[in-house]
Amino acid sequence: MDGEGYKIVFAGGGTGGHLYPGLVVAAALRDELGDAADITFIGAQRGIEQRLVPQAGYPLVSLRVAGIKGRGALAKLGAAFAAARALLRCFFWMRRHRPDLVVGVGGYASGPAVLAATWTGVKTMVLEQNHFPGATNRWLAPRVDAVCVPSEDARKRLDGIGTVTGNPVRAEFFETAPPSPAARPSLLVFGGSRGAHSINRAMSALVPELARFDPAPRVVHQCGEADAETVRDAARAYPRDLYEVQVFLDDMPARLAAADLVVCRAGASTLAELTAAGRPAVLVPYPHAADDHQRHNAESLARVGAARVVTDAELDDGRLVGVLEELLGNPEAIRRMGECAKRIGKP
């Protein structure tokens, strides 16, 4: 170290699932080291980090990077050139700033920054959030100095590389008590920081059926910006004041604390928060996630009785409303699922 503090870089983001673990670890380092922690984030120009990192008080270096999965040939070529430019920029940035440690948290900006750090002799670490590691981290694992993984399954898929640490989660999630008994169950629906179009569409379609439940559940639905008006229009058919529509939720610990049941995607950070809070869930894995990792994540919770899984394809065939009716009408089943979730939550 140079005597002026610890220069630590967190690289990645794009979505809350990648970014939030980095923010949690950064906050813990800042609490532990105080002013000696000189923390910088490197992220994508269009990622959620553009709002959340400055909000948390950290400087942000932005890269023009994008994914290639599911895109056309020209778009893939453009993304490859952008990644090469990002790698070159990160290389010179590392040479100039000489951080003590670069931590990759996943997302499009993570690979160029971590690889550039290895080329310049900077210590490197990868935080893998998924039980089924993605291709980038599988490639990086033998090339970095340390790897943190959420489970023994993830470590095995990295050929035994890594330390099982669980996923970084804010302390508030572990302090969540079971919801107080109420005459009306509470349902929390969310689809990640940008919302989930297929979940939004399915929930909008089944509003009339939910309204016929006895009693109709109180619903909080985080839908993202793109579908906000459509979801609000559908919610007008629901009993007054019982369907709350939000574009983004900044207070997730409090929202989970008030929820009896959750409907959401199966990103690794989301599942870590659910299990920390001990909340049962109906999980709808994102079908286009890299290496189908959300399906693997969801099945890991379903196997221990903490969740039910509804595929994206099943959203339109009535299965979701059937599962919701079954669970919301059986508080004891929800309680048991919550206990199973809490049992595997790792602080």
Mean pLDDT computed over 128-154? 90
Q: Are both 83 and 101 inside the same structural domain?
A: yes
The verdict on 151 and 32 lying in the same domain is: yes
Q: In what order do the strands lie in the sheet with 243-246?
A: 243-246, 218-222, 186-190, 261-264, 281-283, 307-309
Q: In sequence order, which residues have a C-beta less than 8 Å from that of residue 20 and are 6 or more positions away?
A: 168, 170, 269
Highest-scoring range by mean pLDDT, 178-182, 247-251, 259-263: 259-263
The pLDDT value given to residue 317: 83
Q: pLDDT-derived band of residue 47, with 50, 70 and 90 as boundaries?
A: confident
Weakest-pLDDT range from 48-52, 85-89, 137-141, 314-318: 314-318
**Residue 290: how many CB atoms within 10 A of its CB?**
17
pLDDT digits 0-9 by tens, 198-230: 999 999 999 999 999 999 999 999 999 999 999
Q: Go through the chain and tell me how many residues it has.
A: 347
Token pair listed for 109: 């900006």
Q: Would you say the C-alpha torsion 110, 168, 344, 190 has a positive or negative sign?
A: negative
- Given 145, 168, 191, the domain boundary residue is 168
Write down the residue that tokens 């000489």 correspond to: 98
Q: Mean pLDDT score of the chain, rounded to an integer?
A: 92
Query: Average of pLDDT values for 130-154?
Result: 90
Give the CATH number of the domain where residue 99 resides: 3.40.50.2000
pLDDT tens sequence across 111-134: 999 999 999 999 999 999 888 888
Q: Is residue 321 part of a domain?
A: yes
Instruction: Say yes or no: 137 and 193 in one domain.
Output: no
**What is the pLDDT averaged over residues 51-69?**
89
Quick one: pLDDT at residue 132?
83
d(CA 280, CA 183): 19
Contact 101, 124 (CB under 8 A): yes
CA 221, CA 212: separation in Å to the nearest integer? 18
Do 111 and 206 have their domain in common?
no
- Tell whether 79 and 220 lie within a shared domain: no
Q: Are residues 132 and 241 in the same domain?
A: no
Query: Where among 137, 168, 199 does a domain terminate?
Result: 168
Based on the domain organization, do 161 and 177 belong to the same domain? no
Q: What percent of the chain has pLDDT over 90?
A: 72
Neighbouring CB atoms inside 10 A of 98's CB total: 12
Within a domain: 191: yes
Shared domain check, 116 and 191: no
Is there a single domain that holds both residue 142 and residue 190? Answer: no
211 and 277 in a common domain: yes
Q: Classify residue 1: in a domain, yes or no.
A: no
**Are residues 156 and 243 located together in one domain of the fold?**
no
pLDDT number for residue 68: 64
pLDDT recorded at residue 256: 95
Cα separation, 150 vs 284, in Å, equals 20
| Domain closes at, from 118, 150, 168 | 168
H-helix or E-strand containing 124? strand 123-127
* Longest Cα separation, the chain: 66
Query: Looking at the structure, do residues 123 and 189 belong to the same domain, yes or no?
Result: no
- Number of domains, the chain: 2
What is the pLDDT, as a whole number, of residue 1?
A: 47
In a domain, 117, yes or no: yes
For 290, the domain range is 172-344
